[in-house]
Amino acid sequence: MKFEPKIPPREFEVGYDVKGTIRDCGAMRLDADEQVTFLTENGGEYDLTRKDWGFYATPSLNGRLAGFNLRAVLVKNRVNRFFVLLVERGKEEAFDRYVRQEPLTIVTWLDSLETLQALEAALECGR
């Protein structure tokens, strides 16, 4: 693993109607089978794991991610780009404000076994 900080951070504007600024603080280079964990002040954790074929982008959606008090949600923006976002449990109200502000469409929450099984079944029917 090698972290390459950007000093000063690169800043860029985001948002459509309501503008904000993101600070790109650096780059992390991972070899295969290396992992980094990102932590929140409330004890939440998010793991990113590199494999020789790519990345595990999240811990298990209905397992470890939930144990870290994070909820995965699939959203779509106004130009039909899709994103998987992770929402801290207890911060859904702030997330709802963000969804209205951007605006985003919530396609589905990806944090319950029932939802994931229903999605799996729907995809099986289409094959």
**Cα gap 64→58, rounded to integer Å:** 9
> What is the predicted pLDDT for the residue at 43?
83
25-72 pLDDT tens trace: 999 999 999 999 999 888 888 999 999 999 999 999 999 998 999 999
Report how many domains make up the chain.
1
**Cα gap 37→58, rounded to integer Å:** 10
**Cα gap 82→36, rounded to integer Å:** 24
What's the DSSP call for residue 43?
A: S
Do the domain assignments include residue 53?
Answer: no
Do the domain assignments include residue 104?
Answer: yes
Domain span holding position 76: 60-125
Do the domain assignments include residue 40?
Answer: no
**pLDDT exceeds 90 at position 18:** no
- Give the pLDDT band of residue 16 (cuts 50, 70, 90): confident
Residues 6+ apart with CB under 8 A from 16: 78, 102
Do the domain assignments include residue 48?
Answer: no
Whole-structure pTM value:
0.86
- Give the pLDDT band of residue 9 (cuts 50, 70, 90): very high
| DSSP reduced 3-state for 111 | coil
Do the domain assignments include residue 46?
Answer: no
- Residue 126: C-alpha distances to residues 114, 119, 121, 123 (Å): 19, 11, 9, 5
Do the domain assignments include residue 39?
Answer: no
